[in-house]
Amino acid sequence: MEEGVDYYFNEQGLMVFTSAYHLKRGHCCKNRCKHCPWNFGKTDDQNSSKSSINESDAKWSNYKKK
């Protein structure tokens, strides 16, 4: 994994996975990631405002930067 391509750390120090990382992984983890390319757990209103597959970031809040 490469920082800046597959993930980054947000202002709260949480590791945020990108859509590109999720697509490389190849399946949905069903953790309701903020920018899941498969839109797991998203409502129609949330889906309509963004493209479902893009290079935006996906949050995975279980990891913090050390």
| DSSP per position, 7-63 | EEE-TTSEEEEEHHHHHHHTS--SS--TT-TT-TT--HHHHHTS-SSSS-EEEEEEE
pLDDT at site 65 = 55
pLDDT at site 43 = 73
Q: Is residue 53 part of a domain?
A: yes
Q: Is residue 29 part of a domain?
A: yes
Q: Is residue 28 part of a domain?
A: yes
pLDDT at site 58 = 43
Domain that holds residue 43: 7-64
Q: Is residue 13 part of a domain?
A: yes
Q: Is residue 44 part of a domain?
A: yes
Looking at the 3D structure of the chain, how many domains does it have?
1
Q: Is residue 1 part of a domain?
A: no
Q: Is residue 2 part of a domain?
A: no
pLDDT (tens digit, 0 to 9) for every residue of the chain, 66 residues total?
999 999 999 999 999 888 999 999 999 988 888 778 988 877 766 554 444 444 444 444 445 555
pLDDT at site 39 = 84
